[in-house]
Amino acid sequence: MANIDARLRENVHLLGELLGRAIRQQHGEGLLGKIERIRKGAKAARRGSAEGAQQLSETLDSLSEDELLPVARAFNQFLNLANIAEQYHRIRRRHPGEAQPFESRVLPNLLERLKAEGHAAESLARQVGRMDIELVLTAHPTEISRRTLIQKYDAIAAELAAKDHTDLSEPERRKIERRLMRLIAEVWHTEEIRRQRPTPVDEAKWGFSVIENSLWQALPNVLRQIDEALYETTGLHLPLEAAPIRFASWMGGDRDGNPNVTARISREVLLSARREAATLYLREVEELISTLSMQAATPELLQHAGDDAEPYRALLKQLRQRLQATRDWAAAALVQDLPAGTDVLQHTQQLRAPLELCYRSLHACGMGMIADGALLDTLRRISAFGLFLVRLDIRQDAARHRAAMAEITDYLGLGDYSAWDEAQRLDFLQTELENRRPLLPDDYQPSADTAEVLATCAVIADAPAGAMGSYVISMARSASDVLAVQLLLKEAGLRRPMRVVPLFETLDDLNNAAPTIDQLLGLPGYRSRLQGPQEVMIGYSDSAKDAGTTASAWAQYRAQESLVEVCRAHEVELLLFHGRGGTVGRGGGPAHAAILSQPPGSVTGRFRTTEQGEMIRFKFGLPDLAEQNLNLYLAAVLEATLMPPPMPRPEWRHVMDELAADGVQAYRGVVREQPQFVEYFRQATPETELGRLPLGSRPARRRQGGIETLRAIPWIFAWTQTRLMLPAWLGWGEALKKVLARGEGEVLAQMKAEWPFFATRIDMLEMVLAKGDADIARRYDERLVDPGLQPLGDELRALLGQVMASVLELTGQQELLDHNPESQEAFNLRNTYLDPLHLLQIELLARSRQASEPTEPRLEQALLVSVAGIAAGLRNTG
């Protein structure tokens, strides 16, 4: 660990030692000794020691069935504890003279750069104040850890922070260590794996807890930092109403292929969010009532507060009463359909107005310092979270809307909508959208599927505007897909504008995105219903599964360029919604670099993106971590807006066209055209077993069938477990090899040096390749795959070696990540704990598949723990 900071090394060692004590207390010295021999054997084997490899193999083989689960749990929990130590290390206290982390400096440094480049103070402040970034929290099932364990992990991080003081006395240090010991013992004696799948409401509550425990505190801190940096650079402050970052959610709204998300569930989540928001604001208002005891006030405030010696408290007590009424109504409405009383807050402005009145009065009466404390933080929270905490997006597959329209047109005697061409559909939809009469009679009895679509639209119509986000149409292919949703919403009684957002996911759909939007914007009447930006969602996960990351990345880039041009021609603002996942195979990677690599003109002060699964915890689980990542988003969007990357040169485009064409051919040649591939995938990876892991509320498959029916997340999750990491790199090796063979290496090097889009793709590819391990993948094949299929595994591992060689040639390195020795060393450390988990998982998979009886519960649990441990060790899983 020579390249790892001494304090991080010390914390990893301490947490590991305390875990060892907990294991010893329960299982004795004998099992702890075996765990230590396994660890040392894995470490020596990684260094090429045949003796170490033999020790590792022999010790694992000697484990009894009773020992398999605790050994798997030990390595799993060590990796979780290492994650905690690494997370805390990023946000640790800096000693005097020690440089602040990049995330803390990035925005002030950018503002200084922008000012030096000639941006006027007023325009710079205006641009910062107008920024609109929306992070959409989703419940994709990649969060392995149970919520109860996450809370204990957070408590461990807090104790590491308490320990990080040089002036602690010995009794204080021992007290912290005892608390750490107790927490780690609690972790050890808590099951890692849920017994039951979470419901969509459970997932939503998990999202609410991330807001309450982290983002609620982090957001006003970040805005305070922005305000200070802006004032230092420009002499101007962030406007009081500015909300550069907001939050939305798919938890309880994403019904695409998830039969567990219904109209009733969406309504329950909306009400739960209102109750949670009222509870959080009540806490704020109670604190303000306690604090704002002063008497001097403006006539405007006195008029609202009445004749009271403490007017601020009097006004705030009125607000407290309305918040209590709102909380109590939302709680009651969850149980029975109950109309809101007159005291219930219905609009965010009703919450904001009395607090703004207090703020203005305090400033007017010479008490600005008081106003700019907790009261300002509350106002900032209201700007970001509103009365409804998060705006709920609704997502549904376009096929469900087409089926509903076909049933409706058949009932009305108009024909079969599904058989009409696009022109017929548009003609019908436009006519009905302009028609003032209802489309359906009151006594219409739809099928269950159509009734559910209509009920969802009714929930949207009944909800306050501020509670709802966008209606996202997955697998959208045409203008009629958007108009069909608008008509269904109109039929449900929606009389306000709502963004209806086509999601373009496959390679063909991405290539057709701009013509579809061009047609949509040219339709009579559409623009009047738009009333805001045209939002378009770009799908990363399914386009990568369809065509591989080489072709999909270039298709996403070109689609964005074309969409920018189309919207510019129609004089309509474009808002791109990026459906990025946690892994490279699903468009993931560092957000700051990803935003700066977008096409010029595609980021214009607005940015919308998903934050998925376990990445929510890794990026926003602790308040200080959340601050760092929110800073990165703000700085990247501002820089991409005011200092966009260069337009790609014609020769760069030509090379990318070649790479994409060769990449998709190589990817599909394996995934679609290799007849043995599907069977090999199912034997070589734990894909089938992942279906038994109670992760999220959504099924792993959209329907029965092959790879095309598998969701992008388990598709990538399964390959990650075996360390082949295939979806992230397949296609790149052949594509790079051919470009280099054509003598275009110099152009590639230029692209890597000068074009952020290409540089970011290669950096992300290199990072995922560093996590790949052909030797581990081979071990899965040797134990689990039929001999007749094993040559295919040999071919795939050869392709992995090929893409590694091409990346090394392009980057001029001897080894992957030579330029980043800290990451290299971190991977090496983790491999010591990952290797035993892989070997255990291989054995457990073999036993599970050979058993004629259902797998013994302890072995099933050990298998699932191995999955969780590998996911923790590699960080981004699906």
pLDDT (tens digit, 9 = 90+) per residue, 365-392? 999 999 999 999 999 999 999 999 999 9
- Return the structure tokens found at 417: 């909508």
| pLDDT tens per residue across span 555-571 | 999 999 999 999 999 99
- Three-state SS for 707? helix
- The number of domains in the chain is 3
Query: Residue 142: pLDDT band by 50, 70, 90 thresholds?
Result: very low
Is pLDDT above 70 for 844? yes
Which of 358, 381, 404 is at the close of a domain?
A: 381
Are 172 and 295 part of one and the same domain?
Answer: no
Are 283 and 356 part of one and the same domain?
Answer: yes
- Return the structure tokens found at 123: 């325009």
Closest CA to 198 of 697, 706, 610, 820: 697
Q: Which of 43, 205, 401, 545 is catalytic?
A: 545
pLDDT, the chain, mean: 91
Is pLDDT above 50 for 264? yes
Only one residue has tokens 């799908």, namely: 539
Find the DSSP H helices in 334-347.
none
Q: In which element (H, E) is residue 221 found?
A: helix 216-234
Q: What is the pTM of this model?
A: 0.92
Only one residue has tokens 């255990």, namely: 840
Are 682 and 719 part of one and the same domain?
Answer: yes
Are 813 and 861 part of one and the same domain?
Answer: no
Are 730 and 701 part of one and the same domain?
Answer: yes
Query: Residue 107: pLDDT band by 50, 70, 90 thresholds?
Result: very high
Q: Partners of 394 in the beta sheet? A: 471
Question: Does the residue 772 lie in any domain?
Answer: yes
Are 694 and 810 part of one and the same domain?
Answer: yes
Question: Does the residue 805 lie in any domain?
Answer: yes
Are 724 and 763 part of one and the same domain?
Answer: yes
Is pLDDT above 50 for 586? no
Is pLDDT above 80 for 145? no
* Cβ-based burial of 28 (10 A; exposed 0-12, middle 13-18, buried ≥19): exposed
Question: Does the residue 782 lie in any domain?
Answer: yes
Number of separate helices (H) and strands (E) present in the chain: 39, 8
Is pLDDT above 90 for 487? yes
Q: In which element (H, E) is residue 574 found?
A: strand 574-579
pLDDT for the residue 859: 85
Q: What is the mean pLDDT of residues 147-161?
A: 87
pLDDT for the residue 150: 81
Query: Residue 616: pLDDT band by 50, 70, 90 thresholds?
Result: confident
pLDDT for the residue 19: 96
pLDDT for the residue 588: 42
Is pLDDT above 90 for 776? yes
| pLDDT tens per residue across span 158-217 | 999 899 887 889 999 999 999 999 999 999 999 887 777 788 998 999 899 999 999 999
Are 795 and 855 part of one and the same domain?
Answer: no
- Return the structure tokens found at 808: 């090394």
CA–CA gap between residue 354 and residue 123 (Å, rounded): 31
Distance from CA of residue 80 to its chain's centroid?
19
CA atoms within 13 A on the CB side of 87: 28
Q: Partners of 575 in the beta sheet? A: 535
Is pLDDT above 90 for 95? no
pLDDT for the residue 596: 92
Question: Does the residue 791 lie in any domain?
Answer: yes
Are 844 and 813 part of one and the same domain?
Answer: no
Are 662 and 770 part of one and the same domain?
Answer: yes
Question: Does the residue 644 lie in any domain?
Answer: no
pLDDT for the residue 701: 52
* Cβ-based burial of 824 (10 A; exposed 0-12, middle 13-18, buried ≥19): middle
Question: Does the residue 132 lie in any domain?
Answer: no
Q: Is 545 a catalytic residue?
A: yes
Only one residue has tokens 């390959």, namely: 719
CA–CA gap between residue 875 and residue 132 (Å, rounded): 29
Question: Does the residue 294 lie in any domain?
Answer: yes
Question: Does the residue 335 lie in any domain?
Answer: yes
Q: How many CB atoms lie within 10 A of CB 528?
A: 8
- Return the structure tokens found at 357: 């009145």
Q: How many CB atoms lie within 10 A of CB 512?
A: 17
Q: What long-range pairs does 439-442 form, CB within 8 A, spacing at least 24?
A: 439/408, 439/412, 439/487, 439/491, 440/408, 440/411, 440/412, 440/491
Closest CA to 661 of 766, 551, 575: 551
Write the CA distances from 766 to 657, 760, 771, 828, 835, integer angstroms.
Answer: 21, 10, 9, 16, 21
Q: What is the mean pLDDT of residues 345-353?
A: 97
Virtual CA dihedral for 105, 108, 111, 116, nearest 10 degrees? -80
> Are 505 and 537 within 8 A, CB to CB?
no
Is pLDDT above 90 for 459? yes
Are 796 and 856 part of one and the same domain?
Answer: no
Is pLDDT above 80 for 109? yes
Closest CA to 687 of 701, 674, 668: 701
CA–CA gap between residue 373 and residue 354 (Å, rounded): 16
Which of 320, 346, 381 is at the close of a domain?
A: 381
Q: What is the mean pLDDT of residues 530-554?
A: 90
Q: What is the mean pLDDT of residues 435-446?
A: 94
Which of 353, 381, 409 is at the close of a domain?
A: 381
Q: Which of 27, 34, 89, 140 is catalytic?
A: 140
Q: What is the mean pLDDT of residues 518-544?
A: 92
Q: Look up the domain containing 45 and give its range.
A: 1-99+147-178+823-878
Q: What is the mean pLDDT of residues 18-46?
A: 94
CA–CA gap between residue 637 and residue 634 (Å, rounded): 5
Are 847 and 814 part of one and the same domain?
Answer: no
